[in-house]
Protein backbone atom coordinates (compact mmCIF):
# COMPACT_ATOMS: atom_id res chain seq x y z
CA UNK A 1 0.00 0.00 0.00
CA UNK A 2 1.27 3.45 -0.90
CA UNK A 3 2.11 6.10 1.70
CA UNK A 4 -0.80 8.17 0.39
CA UNK A 5 -3.14 5.22 0.85
CA UNK A 6 -1.77 4.80 4.36
CA UNK A 7 -2.72 8.36 5.22
CA UNK A 8 -6.29 8.11 3.89
CA UNK A 9 -6.86 4.39 4.18
CA UNK A 10 -7.69 3.92 0.45
CA UNK A 11 -6.12 3.99 -3.00
CA UNK A 12 -6.91 6.94 -5.29
CA UNK A 13 -6.62 5.31 -8.73
CA UNK A 14 -9.93 3.43 -8.76
CA UNK A 15 -11.80 6.59 -7.71
CA UNK A 16 -11.07 8.35 -11.04
CA UNK A 17 -10.51 11.74 -9.47
CA UNK A 18 -11.50 14.86 -11.37
CA UNK A 19 -8.68 16.29 -13.46
CA UNK A 20 -6.77 19.28 -12.17
CA UNK A 21 -7.65 22.33 -14.29
CA UNK A 22 -4.00 23.21 -14.83
CA UNK A 23 -3.31 19.69 -16.07
CA UNK A 24 -6.32 19.86 -18.39
CA UNK A 25 -5.10 23.11 -19.94
CA UNK A 26 -1.60 21.68 -20.32
CA UNK A 27 -2.91 18.56 -22.09
CA UNK A 28 -5.14 20.54 -24.41
CA UNK A 29 -2.36 22.94 -25.40
CA UNK A 30 0.40 20.33 -25.41
CA UNK A 31 2.45 22.19 -22.76
CA UNK A 32 4.98 19.56 -21.69
CA UNK A 33 6.67 21.89 -19.18
CA UNK A 34 3.39 22.59 -17.39
CA UNK A 35 2.68 18.86 -17.31
CA UNK A 36 6.04 18.13 -15.70
CA UNK A 37 5.48 20.81 -13.08
CA UNK A 38 2.04 19.37 -12.30
CA UNK A 39 3.41 15.88 -11.78
CA UNK A 40 6.54 16.86 -9.82
CA UNK A 41 6.35 16.97 -5.97
CA UNK A 42 6.51 20.59 -4.73
CA UNK A 43 5.75 22.56 -1.59
CA UNK A 44 2.33 23.19 -3.12
CA UNK A 45 1.74 19.42 -3.15
CA UNK A 46 2.22 19.33 0.62
CA UNK A 47 -0.21 22.20 1.07
CA UNK A 48 -2.89 20.20 -0.76
CA UNK A 49 -2.77 17.51 1.93
CA UNK A 50 -4.97 17.67 5.09
CA UNK A 51 -3.34 18.56 8.39
CA UNK A 52 -0.60 16.07 9.13
CA UNK A 53 0.58 17.18 12.60
CA UNK A 54 0.52 13.64 13.94
CA UNK A 55 2.71 12.15 11.23
CA UNK A 56 6.41 11.94 10.78
CA UNK A 57 7.88 14.46 8.34
CA UNK A 58 9.12 11.69 6.08
CA UNK A 59 5.60 10.29 5.76
CA UNK A 60 4.32 13.71 4.73
CA UNK A 61 6.99 13.99 2.05
CA UNK A 62 6.11 10.56 0.68
CA UNK A 63 2.43 11.47 0.71
CA UNK A 64 3.14 14.65 -1.25
CA UNK A 65 5.10 12.68 -3.83
CA UNK A 66 2.28 10.15 -4.11
CA UNK A 67 -0.25 12.97 -4.54
CA UNK A 68 1.76 14.41 -7.43
CA UNK A 69 1.93 11.02 -9.06
CA UNK A 70 -1.77 10.32 -8.60
CA UNK A 71 -2.71 13.59 -10.28
CA UNK A 72 -1.92 12.03 -13.67
CA UNK A 73 -4.90 9.71 -13.24
CA UNK A 74 -7.38 12.59 -13.12
CA UNK A 75 -10.19 12.50 -15.67
CA UNK A 76 -12.62 14.99 -17.20
CA UNK A 77 -16.38 14.69 -16.82
CA UNK A 78 -16.31 12.58 -19.98
CA UNK A 79 -13.78 10.23 -18.43
CA UNK A 80 -10.89 11.41 -20.61
CA UNK A 81 -7.35 11.19 -19.26
CA UNK A 82 -4.52 13.52 -20.20
CA UNK A 83 -3.48 10.94 -22.81
CA UNK A 84 -6.96 10.99 -24.39
CA UNK A 85 -6.76 14.77 -24.66
CA UNK A 86 -3.23 14.84 -26.05
CA UNK A 87 -4.10 12.07 -28.53
CA UNK A 88 -7.17 13.94 -29.72
CA UNK A 89 -5.26 17.18 -30.29
CA UNK A 90 -2.17 15.55 -31.81
CA UNK A 91 0.38 16.66 -29.20
CA UNK A 92 3.08 14.05 -29.77
CA UNK A 93 5.68 15.37 -27.30
CA UNK A 94 3.08 15.65 -24.56
CA UNK A 95 1.75 12.16 -25.25
CA UNK A 96 5.30 10.79 -25.25
CA UNK A 97 5.93 12.28 -21.80
CA UNK A 98 2.66 10.84 -20.47
CA UNK A 99 3.49 7.38 -21.81
CA UNK A 100 6.96 7.59 -20.27
CA UNK A 101 5.59 8.53 -16.86
CA UNK A 102 2.50 6.28 -16.81
CA UNK A 103 2.33 3.84 -19.76
CA UNK A 104 -0.75 2.11 -18.34
CA UNK A 105 -2.87 5.05 -19.51
CA UNK A 106 -2.86 3.60 -23.04
CA UNK A 107 -5.44 1.12 -21.74
CA UNK A 108 -7.67 3.73 -20.05
CA UNK A 109 -11.22 4.20 -21.34
CA UNK A 110 -13.55 7.17 -21.10
CA UNK A 111 -17.32 7.10 -20.55
CA UNK A 112 -17.82 6.14 -24.22
CA UNK A 113 -15.35 3.26 -23.77
CA UNK A 114 -12.88 5.00 -26.05
CA UNK A 115 -9.17 4.49 -25.48
CA UNK A 116 -6.57 7.12 -26.39
CA UNK A 117 -6.00 5.01 -29.51
CA UNK A 118 -9.61 5.59 -30.58
CA UNK A 119 -9.11 9.34 -30.13
CA UNK A 120 -5.95 9.68 -32.21
CA UNK A 121 -7.21 7.26 -34.88
CA UNK A 122 -10.38 9.30 -35.27
CA UNK A 123 -8.34 12.51 -35.57
CA UNK A 124 -5.80 10.97 -37.95
CA UNK A 125 -2.70 11.53 -35.81
CA UNK A 126 -0.59 8.66 -37.13
CA UNK A 127 2.52 9.50 -35.07
CA UNK A 128 0.59 9.18 -31.82
CA UNK A 129 -0.98 5.96 -33.09
CA UNK A 130 2.55 4.59 -33.51
CA UNK A 131 3.51 5.84 -30.04
CA UNK A 132 0.56 4.13 -28.37
CA UNK A 133 1.15 0.88 -30.25
CA UNK A 134 4.83 0.89 -29.25
CA UNK A 135 3.97 1.75 -25.64
CA UNK A 136 1.40 -1.03 -25.47
CA UNK A 137 3.92 -3.50 -26.89
CA UNK A 138 6.59 -2.50 -24.40
CA UNK A 139 4.12 -2.79 -21.52
CA UNK A 140 3.21 -6.40 -22.24
CA UNK A 141 6.16 -7.65 -20.21
CA UNK A 142 4.82 -5.99 -17.06
CA UNK A 143 1.70 -8.13 -17.20
CA UNK A 144 -0.76 -5.33 -16.37
CA UNK A 145 -2.69 -5.87 -19.60
CA UNK A 146 -2.52 -7.67 -22.91
CA UNK A 147 -1.16 -5.20 -25.46
CA UNK A 148 -3.49 -6.60 -28.14
CA UNK A 149 -6.43 -5.67 -25.92
CA UNK A 150 -5.42 -2.04 -26.38
CA UNK A 151 -5.58 -2.36 -30.17
CA UNK A 152 -8.79 -4.39 -30.12
CA UNK A 153 -10.69 -2.34 -27.54
CA UNK A 154 -14.27 -1.53 -28.58
CA UNK A 155 -16.16 1.67 -27.85
CA UNK A 156 -19.87 1.87 -26.99
CA UNK A 157 -20.69 1.19 -30.66
CA UNK A 158 -18.59 -1.96 -30.67
CA UNK A 159 -16.02 -0.30 -32.91
CA UNK A 160 -12.24 -0.52 -32.75
CA UNK A 161 -9.75 2.24 -33.50
CA UNK A 162 -9.54 0.83 -37.04
CA UNK A 163 -13.24 1.55 -37.59
CA UNK A 164 -12.71 5.14 -36.45
CA UNK A 165 -9.72 5.65 -38.73
CA UNK A 166 -11.61 4.33 -41.75
CA UNK A 167 -14.82 6.23 -41.01
CA UNK A 168 -12.91 9.50 -41.15
CA UNK A 169 -10.80 8.48 -44.14
CA UNK A 170 -7.40 8.29 -42.41
CA UNK A 171 -5.76 5.68 -44.61
CA UNK A 172 -2.25 5.90 -43.14
CA UNK A 173 -3.58 5.35 -39.63
CA UNK A 174 -5.67 2.42 -40.85
CA UNK A 175 -2.68 0.78 -42.53
CA UNK A 176 -0.56 1.17 -39.38
CA UNK A 177 -3.25 -0.50 -37.28
CA UNK A 178 -3.63 -3.36 -39.76
CA UNK A 179 0.13 -3.88 -39.85
CA UNK A 180 0.25 -3.97 -36.05
CA UNK A 181 -2.63 -6.44 -35.74
CA UNK A 182 -4.19 -7.84 -38.90
CA UNK A 183 -6.90 -9.53 -36.85
CA UNK A 184 -8.52 -6.10 -36.56
CA UNK A 185 -9.72 -6.64 -40.12
CA UNK A 186 -12.13 -9.31 -38.87
CA UNK A 187 -13.74 -7.16 -36.18
CA UNK A 188 -17.31 -6.16 -37.01
CA UNK A 189 -18.99 -3.35 -35.09
CA UNK A 190 -21.86 -4.58 -32.89
CA UNK A 191 -20.49 -8.02 -33.61
CA UNK A 192 -20.65 -9.05 -29.96
CA UNK A 193 -24.43 -9.48 -30.15
CA UNK A 194 -25.40 -12.99 -29.06
CA UNK A 195 -28.41 -13.18 -31.36
CA UNK A 196 -28.00 -13.54 -35.10
CA UNK A 197 -30.67 -12.53 -37.62
CA UNK A 198 -33.52 -14.97 -37.94
CA UNK A 199 -33.26 -15.50 -41.69
CA UNK A 200 -34.54 -18.87 -42.86
CA UNK A 201 -32.74 -18.76 -46.17
CA UNK A 202 -34.02 -22.19 -47.19
CA UNK A 203 -37.43 -20.64 -47.87
CA UNK A 204 -36.11 -18.32 -50.55
CA UNK A 205 -34.70 -19.76 -53.73
CA UNK A 206 -33.69 -18.39 -57.08
CA UNK A 207 -35.19 -19.46 -60.38
CA UNK A 208 -32.42 -22.01 -60.81
CA UNK A 209 -33.27 -23.60 -57.43
CA UNK A 210 -30.00 -22.50 -55.85
CA UNK A 211 -30.17 -21.34 -52.27
CA UNK A 212 -29.68 -17.64 -51.68
CA UNK A 213 -26.59 -16.61 -49.78
CA UNK A 214 -26.65 -14.09 -46.95
CA UNK A 215 -23.67 -12.54 -45.19
CA UNK A 216 -24.39 -14.85 -42.23
CA UNK A 217 -23.53 -17.87 -44.36
CA UNK A 218 -20.11 -17.00 -45.70
CA UNK A 219 -17.84 -17.34 -42.71
CA UNK A 220 -18.02 -14.13 -40.68
CA UNK A 221 -16.23 -14.33 -37.32
CA UNK A 222 -19.20 -12.74 -35.50
CA UNK A 223 -22.97 -12.89 -35.95
CA UNK A 224 -24.20 -10.20 -38.31
CA UNK A 225 -26.65 -7.68 -36.86
CA UNK A 226 -28.70 -4.91 -38.48
CA UNK A 227 -25.98 -2.38 -37.69
CA UNK A 228 -22.91 -4.50 -38.39
CA UNK A 229 -20.06 -2.59 -39.99
CA UNK A 230 -16.81 -4.19 -41.08
CA UNK A 231 -13.56 -2.29 -41.68
CA UNK A 232 -13.69 -3.24 -45.37
CA UNK A 233 -17.22 -1.87 -45.74
CA UNK A 234 -16.14 1.44 -44.19
CA UNK A 235 -13.02 1.58 -46.36
CA UNK A 236 -15.10 1.14 -49.51
CA UNK A 237 -17.69 3.72 -48.47
CA UNK A 238 -15.00 6.32 -47.75
CA UNK A 239 -13.07 5.46 -50.94
CA UNK A 240 -9.93 4.64 -48.93
CA UNK A 241 -8.33 2.66 -51.75
CA UNK A 242 -5.01 1.89 -50.06
CA UNK A 243 -6.85 0.64 -46.97
CA UNK A 244 -9.08 -1.51 -49.17
CA UNK A 245 -5.97 -2.93 -50.83
CA UNK A 246 -4.47 -3.75 -47.43
CA UNK A 247 -7.67 -5.41 -46.21
CA UNK A 248 -8.04 -7.48 -49.37
CA UNK A 249 -4.62 -8.98 -48.73
CA UNK A 250 -6.14 -10.76 -45.72
CA UNK A 251 -8.40 -13.77 -46.05
CA UNK A 252 -9.75 -13.05 -42.57
CA UNK A 253 -11.15 -9.61 -43.43
CA UNK A 254 -14.83 -9.23 -42.62
CA UNK A 255 -16.98 -7.62 -45.30
CA UNK A 256 -20.43 -7.03 -43.80
CA UNK A 257 -22.34 -3.77 -43.60
CA UNK A 258 -25.67 -2.62 -42.16
CA UNK A 259 -28.89 -4.16 -43.40
CA UNK A 260 -27.15 -7.36 -44.46
CA UNK A 261 -25.19 -5.53 -47.15
CA UNK A 262 -21.60 -6.38 -47.99
CA UNK A 263 -18.61 -4.36 -49.11
CA UNK A 264 -19.55 -5.29 -52.69
CA UNK A 265 -23.00 -3.72 -52.32
CA UNK A 266 -21.21 -0.59 -51.10
CA UNK A 267 -18.72 -0.60 -53.97
CA UNK A 268 -21.48 -0.89 -56.56
CA UNK A 269 -23.24 2.30 -55.44
CA UNK A 270 -20.12 4.31 -54.62
CA UNK A 271 -18.92 6.47 -57.56
CA UNK A 272 -15.67 5.55 -59.35
CA UNK A 273 -15.31 2.16 -57.69
CA UNK A 274 -15.15 -0.12 -60.74
CA UNK A 275 -11.59 -1.22 -60.00
CA UNK A 276 -12.41 -1.89 -56.35
CA UNK A 277 -15.48 -3.87 -57.42
CA UNK A 278 -13.35 -6.10 -59.64
CA UNK A 279 -10.82 -6.64 -56.85
CA UNK A 280 -13.49 -7.56 -54.32
CA UNK A 281 -15.00 -10.05 -56.77
CA UNK A 282 -11.58 -11.59 -57.33
CA UNK A 283 -10.94 -11.72 -53.56
CA UNK A 284 -14.26 -13.39 -52.73
CA UNK A 285 -16.18 -14.41 -55.90
CA UNK A 286 -19.21 -15.56 -53.90
CA UNK A 287 -20.03 -11.98 -52.90
CA UNK A 288 -21.69 -11.43 -56.27
CA UNK A 289 -24.52 -13.69 -55.08
CA UNK A 290 -24.77 -12.51 -51.47
CA UNK A 291 -28.09 -10.82 -50.73
CA UNK A 292 -29.02 -8.19 -48.17
CA UNK A 293 -32.05 -8.25 -45.86
CA UNK A 294 -34.38 -7.49 -48.77
CA UNK A 295 -32.68 -10.31 -50.72
CA UNK A 296 -31.17 -7.81 -53.15
CA UNK A 297 -27.87 -8.70 -54.80
CA UNK A 298 -25.24 -6.15 -55.82
CA UNK A 299 -26.74 -6.38 -59.32
CA UNK A 300 -30.08 -5.17 -57.94
CA UNK A 301 -28.20 -2.16 -56.55
CA UNK A 302 -26.49 -1.45 -59.88
CA UNK A 303 -29.86 -1.71 -61.63
CA UNK A 304 -31.48 0.72 -59.20
CA UNK A 305 -28.55 3.11 -59.59
CA UNK A 306 -28.69 2.96 -63.38
CA UNK A 307 -25.01 2.07 -63.55
CA UNK A 308 -24.59 0.14 -66.79
CA UNK A 309 -20.83 -0.35 -66.45
CA UNK A 310 -21.21 -1.80 -62.98
CA UNK A 311 -24.00 -4.07 -64.18
CA UNK A 312 -21.72 -5.26 -66.98
CA UNK A 313 -18.92 -6.09 -64.52
CA UNK A 314 -21.26 -8.05 -62.25
CA UNK A 315 -22.92 -9.94 -65.09
CA UNK A 316 -19.63 -10.90 -66.71
CA UNK A 317 -18.47 -12.20 -63.34
CA UNK A 318 -21.64 -14.24 -62.75
CA UNK A 319 -24.53 -14.06 -65.27
CA UNK A 320 -26.74 -16.15 -62.98
CA UNK A 321 -27.24 -13.14 -60.69
CA UNK A 322 -29.69 -11.80 -63.28
CA UNK A 323 -32.02 -14.62 -62.22
CA UNK A 324 -32.10 -13.88 -58.48
CA UNK A 325 -35.21 -12.12 -57.21
CA UNK A 326 -35.63 -10.00 -54.10
CA UNK A 327 -38.34 -10.42 -51.44
CA UNK A 328 -40.88 -8.66 -53.66
CA UNK A 329 -40.13 -11.00 -56.53
CA UNK A 330 -38.31 -8.33 -58.50
CA UNK A 331 -35.35 -9.42 -60.58
CA UNK A 332 -32.64 -6.90 -61.48
CA UNK A 333 -34.36 -6.23 -64.82
CA UNK A 334 -37.58 -5.31 -62.96
CA UNK A 335 -35.66 -2.94 -60.70
CA UNK A 336 -34.05 -1.24 -63.69
CA UNK A 337 -37.44 -0.96 -65.40
CA UNK A 338 -39.08 0.52 -62.33
CA UNK A 339 -36.41 3.24 -62.28
CA UNK A 340 -36.61 3.74 -66.06
CA UNK A 341 -32.96 2.76 -66.56
CA UNK A 342 -33.13 1.52 -70.14
CA UNK A 343 -29.35 1.28 -70.41
CA UNK A 344 -29.22 -1.34 -67.65
CA UNK A 345 -32.16 -3.23 -69.14
CA UNK A 346 -30.26 -3.44 -72.44
CA UNK A 347 -27.13 -4.68 -70.66
CA UNK A 348 -29.07 -7.43 -68.88
CA UNK A 349 -30.83 -8.45 -72.09
CA UNK A 350 -27.55 -8.53 -74.02
CA UNK A 351 -25.87 -10.86 -71.52
CA UNK A 352 -28.96 -12.81 -70.44
CA UNK A 353 -31.45 -12.70 -73.36
CA UNK A 354 -34.06 -14.92 -71.72
CA UNK A 355 -34.32 -12.59 -68.72
CA UNK A 356 -37.16 -10.91 -70.63
CA UNK A 357 -39.28 -13.89 -69.55
CA UNK A 358 -38.82 -13.21 -65.83
CA UNK A 359 -41.94 -12.23 -63.91
CA UNK A 360 -42.46 -11.04 -60.33
CA UNK A 361 -44.80 -12.49 -57.68
CA UNK A 362 -47.74 -10.96 -59.55
CA UNK A 363 -46.71 -12.46 -62.87
CA UNK A 364 -45.62 -9.10 -64.24
CA UNK A 365 -42.85 -8.65 -66.77
CA UNK A 366 -40.37 -5.81 -66.62
CA UNK A 367 -42.66 -3.87 -68.99
CA UNK A 368 -45.57 -4.18 -66.55
CA UNK A 369 -43.30 -2.87 -63.79
CA UNK A 370 -42.00 0.00 -65.92
CA UNK A 371 -45.53 1.20 -66.65
CA UNK A 372 -46.77 0.68 -63.10
CA UNK A 373 -43.83 2.07 -61.14
CA UNK A 374 -41.74 4.31 -63.38
CA UNK A 375 -42.37 8.04 -63.43
CA UNK A 376 -42.28 7.79 -67.21
CA UNK A 377 -42.25 4.23 -68.58
CA UNK A 378 -42.39 5.61 -72.10
CA UNK A 379 -38.68 4.97 -72.72
CA UNK A 380 -39.08 1.26 -71.90
CA UNK A 381 -41.99 1.02 -74.35
CA UNK A 382 -39.82 2.75 -76.95
CA UNK A 383 -37.05 0.23 -76.29
CA UNK A 384 -39.39 -2.64 -77.09
CA UNK A 385 -40.83 -1.03 -80.20
CA UNK A 386 -37.53 0.19 -81.64
CA UNK A 387 -35.48 -2.98 -81.11
CA UNK A 388 -34.43 -4.37 -84.48
CA UNK A 389 -34.80 -7.93 -83.24
CA UNK A 390 -38.47 -7.39 -82.40
CA UNK A 391 -37.97 -10.10 -79.78
CA UNK A 392 -39.78 -8.23 -77.02
CA UNK A 393 -43.05 -7.33 -78.73
CA UNK A 394 -44.79 -10.29 -77.10
CA UNK A 395 -44.46 -8.41 -73.80
CA UNK A 396 -46.92 -5.78 -75.05
CA UNK A 397 -49.79 -8.28 -74.84
CA UNK A 398 -48.53 -10.46 -71.98
CA UNK A 399 -50.97 -10.81 -69.08
CA UNK A 400 -50.07 -10.84 -65.39
CA UNK A 401 -51.75 -12.94 -62.68
CA UNK A 402 -54.75 -10.61 -62.78
CA UNK A 403 -55.04 -10.83 -66.54
CA UNK A 404 -53.83 -7.28 -67.09
CA UNK A 405 -51.63 -6.44 -70.06
CA UNK A 406 -49.23 -3.49 -69.97
CA UNK A 407 -51.93 -1.51 -71.79
CA UNK A 408 -54.41 -2.16 -68.97
CA UNK A 409 -51.91 -0.63 -66.55
CA UNK A 410 -51.17 2.29 -68.85
CA UNK A 411 -54.88 3.15 -69.11
CA UNK A 412 -55.29 2.82 -65.33
CA UNK A 413 -52.46 5.26 -64.71
CA UNK A 414 -53.88 7.69 -67.29
CA UNK A 415 -50.46 9.01 -68.31
CA UNK A 416 -50.84 10.88 -71.59
CA UNK A 417 -47.50 10.05 -73.23
CA UNK A 418 -47.96 6.35 -72.43
CA UNK A 419 -51.42 6.32 -73.96
CA UNK A 420 -50.07 8.12 -77.02
CA UNK A 421 -47.37 5.45 -77.40
CA UNK A 422 -49.91 2.64 -77.16
CA UNK A 423 -52.16 4.40 -79.68
CA UNK A 424 -49.30 4.19 -82.17
CA UNK A 425 -48.85 0.51 -81.35
CA UNK A 426 -52.54 -0.10 -81.94
CA UNK A 427 -52.29 1.49 -85.37
CA UNK A 428 -49.42 -0.87 -86.19
CA UNK A 429 -51.51 -3.79 -84.89
CA UNK A 430 -48.74 -4.70 -82.43
CA UNK A 431 -50.68 -4.13 -79.21
CA UNK A 432 -54.16 -5.65 -78.84
CA UNK A 433 -56.93 -3.62 -77.23
CA UNK A 434 -59.41 -6.51 -77.10
CA UNK A 435 -57.62 -8.60 -74.46
CA UNK A 436 -59.72 -8.99 -71.31
CA UNK A 437 -58.37 -9.22 -67.78
CA UNK A 438 -59.74 -11.54 -65.07
CA UNK A 439 -62.63 -9.12 -64.49
CA UNK A 440 -63.58 -9.30 -68.15
CA UNK A 441 -62.41 -5.76 -68.86
CA UNK A 442 -60.37 -4.70 -71.87
CA UNK A 443 -58.08 -1.66 -71.90
CA UNK A 444 -60.83 0.15 -73.81
CA UNK A 445 -63.35 -0.69 -71.09
CA UNK A 446 -61.04 0.74 -68.46
CA UNK A 447 -60.58 3.86 -70.55
CA UNK A 448 -64.34 4.38 -70.85
CA UNK A 449 -64.89 3.74 -67.15
CA UNK A 450 -62.20 6.27 -66.37
CA UNK A 451 -63.81 8.87 -68.61
CA UNK A 452 -67.27 8.24 -67.13
CA UNK A 453 -65.89 8.95 -63.67
CA UNK A 454 -64.92 12.43 -64.82
CA UNK A 455 -67.70 15.08 -64.70
CA UNK A 456 -69.19 15.89 -68.11
CA UNK A 457 -67.26 13.21 -69.96
CA UNK A 458 -69.56 10.19 -69.77
CA UNK A 459 -72.01 11.24 -72.50
CA UNK A 460 -69.30 12.14 -74.97
CA UNK A 461 -67.77 8.66 -75.25
CA UNK A 462 -70.16 6.04 -76.63
CA UNK A 463 -69.31 2.49 -75.64
CA UNK A 464 -68.09 0.36 -78.55
CA UNK A 465 -67.05 -3.13 -77.51
**Closest residue by Cα to residue 85 from 127, 122, 109, 116:** 116
Q: Are 370 and 337 contacting, i.e. CB atoms less than 8 angstroms apart?
A: yes
Tell whether the model's pLDDT for residue 191 goes beyond 90: no
Residue 446 CA from chain centroid, whole number: 46
Q: What is the CATH number of the domain that holds 278?
A: 1.25.40.20
Which is it for the CA torsion 115, 118, 120, 126, positive or negative?
Answer: positive
Give the pLDDT score at 181. Answer: 97
Give 429's pLDDT tier (boundaries 50, 70, 90).
Answer: confident
Tell whether the model's pLDDT for residue 327 goes beyond 60: yes
Give 30's pLDDT tier (boundaries 50, 70, 90).
Answer: very high
Q: Are 98 and 35 contacting, i.e. CB atoms less than 8 angstroms apart?
A: yes
Tell whether the model's pLDDT for residue 25 goes beyond 70: yes
Give the pLDDT score at 221. Answer: 42
Q: What percent of the chain has a predicted confidence (pLDDT) above 70?
A: 77
Choose between 144 and 354: higher pLDDT.
354
- The mean pLDDT value for 401-427 works out to 83
| 20 and 137 assigned to the same domain | yes
Model pTM score: 0.81
Tell whether the model's pLDDT for residue 310 goes beyond 60: yes
Q: What percent of the chain has a predicted confidence (pLDDT) above 90?
A: 62
pLDDT in tens, 208-261: 434 566 655 554 444 444 568 999 999 999 999 999 999 999 999 999 999 999
Residue 262 β-bridge partners:
256
Tell whether the model's pLDDT for residue 145 goes beyond 80: no
| 345 and 427 assigned to the same domain | yes
Report yes or no on 67 lying in a domain: yes
| 110 and 223 assigned to the same domain | no
Tell whether the model's pLDDT for residue 200 goes beyond 50: no
| 152 and 218 assigned to the same domain | no
Tell whether the model's pLDDT for residue 197 goes beyond 90: no
Q: Are 255 and 281 contacting, i.e. CB atoms less than 8 angstroms apart?
A: no
Report yes or no on 200 lying in a domain: no
Q: Pick the range with the lowest mean pLDDT from 26-40, 56-70, 175-189, 236-250.
A: 56-70
- The mean pLDDT value for 258-287 works out to 95
Count of structural domains within the chain: 2
Give the pLDDT score at 460. Answer: 37
Average pLDDT, the chain: 83
| 393 and 257 assigned to the same domain | yes
| 440 and 308 assigned to the same domain | yes
Tell whether the model's pLDDT for residue 459 goes beyond 50: no
Residue 290 β-bridge partners:
213
Domain that holds residue 237: 209-460
Give the pLDDT score at 214. Answer: 62
Report yes or no on 165 lying in a domain: no
Report yes or no on 194 lying in a domain: no
Task: Cite the DSSP H helix spans in 329-436.
Answer: 332-338, 342-351, 366-373, 378-386, 406-413, 416-427
Tell whether the model's pLDDT for residue 189 goes beyond 60: yes
Choose between 420 and 4: higher pLDDT.
420
Amino acid sequence: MSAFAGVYGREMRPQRRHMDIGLFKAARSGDVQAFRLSTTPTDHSVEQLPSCHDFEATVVIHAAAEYSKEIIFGVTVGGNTVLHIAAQHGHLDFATEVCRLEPSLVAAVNTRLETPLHCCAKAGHDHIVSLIIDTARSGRDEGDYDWLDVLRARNVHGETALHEALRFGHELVAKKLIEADNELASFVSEGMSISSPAHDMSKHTTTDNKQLISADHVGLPFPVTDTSMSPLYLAVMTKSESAVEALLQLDSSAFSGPGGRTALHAAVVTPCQKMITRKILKWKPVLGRVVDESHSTPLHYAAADGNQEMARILLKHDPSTAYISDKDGYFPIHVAAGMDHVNVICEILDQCPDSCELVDHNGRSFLHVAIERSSRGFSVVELIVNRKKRDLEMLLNQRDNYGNTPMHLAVSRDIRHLLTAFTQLLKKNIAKISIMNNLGLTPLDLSILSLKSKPGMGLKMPVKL
